[in-house]
Amino acid sequence: MVNAYCIIDESGEIQYASNSVLEMFQLNLDGAIGLPLSALVPSIYDEENNEINEYSKKREPKHLEDANRELLARRNDGEEFPVRIMITEVFAEKNRLFIGIIRDLSIQGDSEKLVHAQRDQLAKVGRLIALGELTTSISHEINQPLTAIAMYATACQRLLHADDFRSDKMILVLQKLVEQSVRAGQVIEQIQKFVQAPESARSLVNLNDALVDIQYLVAVDAMLHGIKLHYDMTADVVLVRCDANQVQHVALNILRNAIEAMTSINCKNGGQISLKSWVEGKKYVVEVEDFGGGIPPERVQYIFKAFQSTKPTGIGLGLSICQSIIDDHGGELGFRNKADKLGCVFYFRLPIGE
């Protein structure tokens, strides 16, 4: 048998244990024979888990379906760990026995933690790659307010030294200076959040606000290529339990792909990218529509596979990482080519609330 199992008599004592059980509980066969099952799984005879005692009072053969429970077990060295144990009643000649099938859930938990850690690391690598490719536009976005700040500061100096000093003009210039300082700070703050995201931490988030924030990272890149970004967000306040940074990463990746798709054909089909959000039943839906060349039919089945890129210099991890993020949030990531063959639509759906 693949699973660890042991044979128990009506008194609850172990009559036989498989090698997997011996390894799991750090026992030898002689030490296991005659040992009460409660020595391995102490809570097995608690009132709510008292399957053997209850069913030993009955005489008809019965598969103990309700004996399938998750409990805490104890190794020979005293270490406690979670197990799933299923107890099945059998008859061997005139003897009434029970077979206990035990699965170590701590191994599964370790594997899940490793998968989550790898997914988080991949997402961070994806963010760094995205920012590396956006370096020019981000530096341009920061340089604009910095240049404006220097210009307004110089204007303040001139106003202060002017013979006809006017406080109203000074106040106006200082207001402009503050606005540009705030703008530069917002860009830098967004970059820090995006790169230095902590380990996956989920909370109830208004994703409309989170998605509007990434415009600071992509707006200039679009403008440099003559592309307009149009946001049409749902008016409802929709809360989604998610890692906001990871969802932002997905949206940013889709927007950047849309910009690249349109610039690759010199925006001949149109010069606007639309990001929309709305509520569909119990789902929050985000859709990005572009006017690029669409996804070639021969690439459709590979679009979300790792290391399968349609870009000459791409490594093919972007959409694969995005799909793993959305899947991990219990959502769906997909796309469709537009009927008029003028671009495509990428979308993702996430469950609302808890």
Domain C-terminal end among 92, 108, 124 = 108
* Type of residue at 11: S
User: Are 192 and 264 within one domain?
Assistant: no
CATH number of the domain that 317 lies in? 3.30.565.10
Query: What's the average pLDDT block by block, 10 residues per block, for the chain (354 residues)?
Result: 79 87 88 86 62 47 51 85 82 79 74 60 62 60 75 84 83 84 73 57 84 76 83 86 84 88 88 91 92 83 64 59 84 88 90 80
Do 351 and 220 share a structural domain?
A: yes
Range of the domain at 38: 4-108
Phi-psi region for residue 270, left (φ > 0), alpha (ψ -120 to 50) or beta?
left
Give the β-pairing of 272-280 and 228-232. Answer: parallel
**In-domain check, residue 159:** yes
Within this chain, do residues 242 and 337 fall inside the same structural domain, yes or no? Answer: yes
CATH of the domain at 169: 1.10.287
Same domain as 88, residue 12: yes
Asked whether the CA dihedral 321, 326, 328, 329 is positive or negative, the reply is: positive
Same domain, residue pair 18 and 78: yes
Q: Is residue 122 a part of any domain in this protein? A: no
Rounded Cα distance, 336 and 254, in Å: 13
CATH number, domain with residue 69: 3.30.450.20
Asked if 344 and 290 count as a contact pair (C-beta separation under 8 A), the reply is: yes
Same domain? For 55 and 103 the reply is: yes
**Structural tokens at position 21:** 């059980």
**Residue 158 half-sphere exposure toward CB, CA atoms < 13 A:** 8
Is 260 found in the same domain as 188? no
Question: Is residue 117, in this structure, part of any structural domain at all?
Answer: no
Let me know whether 239 and 172 are in one domain: no
209 lies in the same domain as 352: yes
Does residue 129 form part of some domain? no
**Per-residue pLDDT, 63:** 39
- How many structural domains comprise the chain? 3
Instruction: Classify residue 93 as left (phi > 0), alpha (psi -120 to 50) or beta.
Output: left
User: Where is the domain boundary, 108, 125, 158?
Assistant: 108
pLDDT at 123: 63
pLDDT at 127: 63
pLDDT the model gives residue 162: 82
Please, are residues 328 and 345 in contact by the beta-carbon 8 Å criterion?
no
pLDDT tens-place string over residues 280-309:
988 999 999 999 888 888 787 777 775 455
Q: Are residues 173 and 228 in the same domain?
A: no
- Is 245 inside a domain boundary? yes
| Whether residue 164 sits in one domain with residue 308 | no
CA gap 230, 237 in Å, rounded: 19
How does DSSP classify residue 134?
Answer: T
What is the number of helices (H) and of strands (E) in the chain?
Answer: 11, 12
State whether 77 and 185 are in the same domain.
no
Give pLDDT, residue 141: 61
Asked which of 196, 226, 246 is the last residue of a domain, the reply is 196
Collapsing DSSP to helix, strand or coil, 83 comes out as strand
The Cβ of residue 137 has, within 10 Å, a number of other Cβ atoms equal to: 20
- 127 in any annotated domain: no
The string of pLDDT tens digits covering residues 59-108 is: 443 434 445 677 888 888 888 888 888 887 777 777 778 888 888 887 66
